[in-house]
Amino acid sequence: MKRILFILFLIVGASNSFSQTEDELKAAKASKQDSIAAIQGRVDAIQAEIDALPGWKVGAFGTIGGSFSGFNNWYAQGTPNNSAGTIGFTVNGYANRNESKYFWRNALTLNLNWVKFDDKDDPNDQSGFRQATDVFNISSLYGHKLSEKFALSGLAEYRTTILSNFNDPGYLDVGVGATWTPVKDLFVVIHPLNYNFVFSSGDAIFESSLGAKIVADYSKEFGAFKLKSNLSVFQSYKSSNLSNWTWTNSFSYTLWKMIGIGFDFGLRDNKQEALNYALTTLGDTNATFDNIDNKLQTYYTLGLSYKF
């Protein structure tokens, strides 16, 4: 009986000791986390001071996505022998300069994606990769400051594809107006005097025109999380058929060192492109601006991200 009581005493004592040790470790962990948060706060404050200094600020981040698969004699599907794959990447780069009297902001967005589906039983099937996503955008905004939040500005922005139809079409916006910077990470461009140059072999469809340009750009970094959102709108004074807008978004979360998870998506509306696609690709000779089904254009990329 004494032996049993002694064993129970040891078990209870060990349990209490373990409980005390676990509580002590949790308390130590909480204090360390508070210390890390305080250190990170000081680091963020110093980084904000660095960002506010004049001079060039250059950087970039991007997303890389890909997958590959192969099947042999997999009879449960319609094409039992095939190989498939996707590969793509996105790059968001910037070079900005902020001085007491002026600012100069330059940005580059590049999104390229290829896909393949090779049916090995079909000798006429295309076996290589085909271009799927093709986005290229470069812009330069210069502003003369009237105050910390308002500036007279000039903008040049060029958009096209580069893999298969470079500059066909290509869009070049050049205009002047004002830029509003309500907070450090957001700027809004309002240019009532802007000319939208359109370069294309389909002169009967694509047309340059005078209009208004509105751009809203937001970039922010929250520790390991970084985002960039850009809305670019052109409103033609000649006809709404010549207007267009594009909204691109990039998100990345760093998991380890410079590597993380990235997600990009974009939306676009362009009636000239929709009509050109219906006439040249679909062969719809009856398509016009009045009857065209102008569907919303979208793209997305999900994969690993790398912070340059």
In tens, the pLDDT along 118-134 reads 888 888 877 778 777 78
Give strand pairing partners of 174. 156, 195
Kindly tell me if the per-residue pLDDT of 17 is higher than 60.
no
Instruction: Provide the pLDDT for residue 203.
Output: 62
Per-residue burial over 36-51, b if 16 or more Cβ lie within 10 Å, else e, is eeeeeeeeeeeeeeee
Every domain of the chain and the residues it spans: 1-53, 58-307
C-alpha pair distances (Å), 65 with each of 192, 222, 253: 39, 23, 14
Side-chain half-sphere CA neighbours of 186 within 13 A: 6
Mean pLDDT of 218-230: 87
Kindly tell me if the per-residue pLDDT of 9 is higher than 60.
no
Instruction: Provide the pLDDT for residue 124.
Output: 80
Instruction: Provide the pLDDT for residue 15.
Output: 54
| Residue 166 DSSP symbol | B
Q: Report CA torsion sign: 34, 36, 42, 44.
A: negative
- Domain 58-307 falls in which CATH fold? Porin (2.40.160)
Q: In terms of pLDDT, which residue wins out, 227 or 236?
A: 236
Q: Which amino acid is at 190?
A: I
| Rounded distance between C-alpha atoms, residue 77 and residue 66, angstroms | 22
Kindly tell me if the per-residue pLDDT of 13 is higher than 60.
no
